[in-house]
């Protein structure tokens, strides 16, 4: 047999799949893979259900149904004061995952350099590498996760094609400050580079802060491709409806990838997402406030048990250092296994979000779960730690 592609074959199964399977096998509470355990709004799902019966059910336009693209244009104006032409600057994709791949395959020429910030979401590196780019990694480190702009500049060169920026950032739960974003914008101008902005958690930002989208900064309108996901905004992760907003010259080549990758996204789901995006401020505020209460409850609980908990400014993830629990000299992968098998609670090892030389003492908990599940998880973790002491 001739070998398959060596870059993708070198990767194992993603940590999310592996840990979800392990959690299921051991009836452990799954706080690993990031998904809410309550489905998003009834009315959004009702429209999707009705649209399956009444249509549309045939191939929609390649760029997405007009209704959704128009609503996305209004969303851009409403939340970011961005004037976007829905016909030439918005495209619907099958999840942010497809959007990311479309942007990377469309923009990268083999030999280009791509800047990535660790810890990073797991689909980034395989696609960047498969597209032929050379990854240039810069790191933010806990507890502040501050971006060192000098270190970032050191990663830029004449060969830099783009930076892949995840804001709010998974798993660090970091929200980039305006100063950091301005620093990134200056470098993009200086090195004539683009930014693929993974903003799937744009509406999950806490403490009355507002998400700042890089594309809204001076000079960035022509350099940024902004990616969103209905999966996160409407707690419907299985729907895989994503979207890209970018200037026509950037979106054009990205659409060329999309047409050969998936070509379209289920039209009935697109219709429902269009309805959802037009929801009032109460919906968006409720999403952030509801998750903020869960964050506070779960972070406090973890601290009481003995974890050293990193601040979560956005997303629905908390990163925690497990060393104070005194579990012995084990790494994060082993800690996740022990917590699953012995405590009955499954986190994700944060080392999975690094290319190499990862810190080995952090685990990530997903807290977008029902209150009673979070309570049981804390009780189980507390009992487990108490028994080991
Ligand atoms: N980017 C980040 C940072 C994510 O956490 C996720 C979560 N799955 C995605 C992209 C993928 O989003 P989607 O499910 O819409 O493909
Ligand atoms: N984004 C989700 C997370 O970080 C997982 C998505 C997936 O399972 N691929 O947990």
pLDDT at position 285 is 98
Ligand 1 contacts CB of residue 121 (under 6 A):
yes
Query: Over pLDDT 70: what percentage of the chain?
Result: 100
CA of 124 to the centre of ligand 1 (A): 10
Q: Which of 200, 236, 266 has the most ligand 1 atoms within 8 A of CB, as the residue to mutate?
A: 200
What pLDDT sits at residue 179?
98
What's the mean pLDDT in 12-17?
Answer: 93
Q: Quote the CA–CA distance of 345 and 96 in Å, as a whole number.
A: 28
- Our CA dihedral for 178, 184, 190, 195, rounded to 10 degrees, sits at -120
**From the CA of 200, how far away is ligand 1's center (Å)?**
6
Q: What's the pLDDT band for 6 if we cut at 50, 70, 90?
A: very high
d(CA 6, CA 191): 31
* DSSP output for 346-367: E-EEGGGG-SSS--SSEEEEE-
- Which ligand 1 atom sits closest to the C-alpha of 229? 15
Q: What is the pLDDT of residue 389?
A: 79
User: What is the residue with the minimal CA distance to atom 2 of ligand 2?
Assistant: 34
Cβ 168 vs Cβ 313: under 8 Å = yes
Write out pLDDT tens, residues 369-387. Answer: 999 999 999 999 999 999 9
State the closest ligand 1 atom to the C-alpha of 169, by its place in the atom list counted from 1: 3
Hey, what domains does the chain have and what are their CATH numbers? 8-40+282-388 (3.90.1150.10), 42-280 (3.40.640.10)
- By most ligand atoms within 8 Å of CB, the mutation choice from 13, 14, 18, 34 for ligand 2 is 34
Q: How far is CA 295 from the centre of its chain?
A: 17
16 lines ligand 2 (CB under 6 A): yes
Tokens found for residue 230: 């209905």
The whole-number pLDDT of residue 9 equals 95
Ligand 1 centre to CA of 33 (Å) is 11
Residue 34 Cβ inside 6 Å of ligand 2? The answer reads yes
Q: What are the pLDDT digits (tens) for 253-297?
A: 999 999 999 999 999 999 999 999 999 999 999 999 999 999 999
Give 108-156 pLDDT, tens digit per residue: 999 999 999 999 999 999 999 999 999 999 999 999 999 999 999 999 9
- In this predicted structure, the answer to whether residue 388 has a pLDDT above a threshold of 90 is no
pTM higher than the cut 0.85: yes
Residue with tokens 């993009």: 188
62-95: pLDDT as tens digits: 999 999 999 999 999 999 999 999 999 999 999 9
**338 Cα to the center of ligand 1, angstroms:** 27
Which strands form 194-198's sheet, in the order they lie side by side? 90-93, 242-245, 224-229, 194-198, 160-166, 113-118, 134-139
Number of the ligand closest to the Cα of 15: 2
Percent of the chain with pLDDT over 90: 99
Task: Examine the pLDDT at 168 and tell me if it is beyond 90.
Answer: yes
pLDDT at 238 over 90: yes
Q: How far is the CA of 22 from the centre of ligand 2 (A)?
A: 15
Ligand number nearest CA of 96 is 1
Whole-angstrom Cα distance, residue 246 to residue 196?
10
* Confidence at residue 4, expressed as pLDDT on a 0 to 100 scale: 96
User: What is the atom index within ligand 2 of the atom nearest the CA of 14?
Assistant: 9
Mean pLDDT of 235-251: 98
Three-state SS for 159?
Answer: coil
Measure the CA–CA gap between 197 and 220, rounded to whole angstroms. Answer: 11
């Amino acid at each position: 047999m001739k070998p398959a592609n060596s870059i993708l074959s070198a990767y194992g199964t993603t940590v999310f799949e592996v840990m979800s399977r392990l959690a299921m096998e051991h009836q452990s509470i799954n706080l690993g893979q990031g998904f809410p355990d309550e489905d998003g709004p009834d009315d959004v799902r009702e429209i999707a259900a009705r649209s399956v019966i009444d249509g549309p059910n045939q191939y929609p336009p390649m760029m997405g149904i007009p209704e959704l693209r128009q609503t996305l244009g209004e969303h851009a104006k409403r939340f970011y004061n961005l004037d976007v032409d829905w016909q030439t600057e918005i495209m619907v994709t099958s999840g942010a995952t497809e959007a990311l791949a479309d942007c990377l395959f469309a923009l990268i020429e083999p030999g280009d350099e791509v800047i990535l910030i660790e810890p990073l979401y797991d689909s980034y590196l395989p696609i960047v590498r498969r597209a032929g780019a050379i990854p240039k990694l810069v790191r933010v480190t806990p507890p502040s996760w501050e971006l060192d702009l000098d270190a970032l500049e050191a990663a830029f060169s004449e060969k830099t094609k783009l930076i892949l920026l995840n804001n709010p950032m998974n798993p660090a739960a970091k929200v980039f400050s305006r100063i950091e974003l301005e620093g990134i914008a200056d470098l993009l101008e200086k090195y004539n580079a683009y930014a693929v902005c993974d903003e799937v958690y744009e509406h999950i930002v806490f403490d009355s802060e507002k998400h700042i989208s890089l594309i809204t900064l001076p000079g960035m309108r022509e350099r940024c491709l902004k990616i969103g996901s209905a999966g996160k905004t409407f707690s419907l992760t299985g729907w895989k409806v994503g979207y890209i907003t970018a200037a026509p010259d950037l979106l054009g080549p990205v659409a060329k990838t999309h047409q050969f990758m998936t070509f379209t996204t289920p039209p009935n789901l697109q219709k429902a997402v269009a309805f959802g995006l037009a929801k009032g401020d109460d919906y968006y505020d409720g999403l952030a406030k509801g998750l903020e209460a869960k964050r506070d409850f779960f972070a406090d609980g973890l601290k009481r048990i003995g974890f050293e908990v990193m601040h979560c400014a956005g997303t629905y993830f908390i990163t925690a250092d497990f060393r104070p629990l005194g579990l012995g000299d084990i790494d994060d992968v082993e800690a996740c296994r022990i917590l699953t098998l012995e405590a009955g609670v499954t986190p994700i090892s944060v080392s999975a979000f690094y290319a190499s030389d990862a810190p080995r003492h952090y685990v990530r908990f997903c807290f977008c779960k029902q209150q009673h599940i979070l309570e049981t998880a804390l009780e189980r973790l507390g009992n487990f730690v108490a028994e080991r002491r």
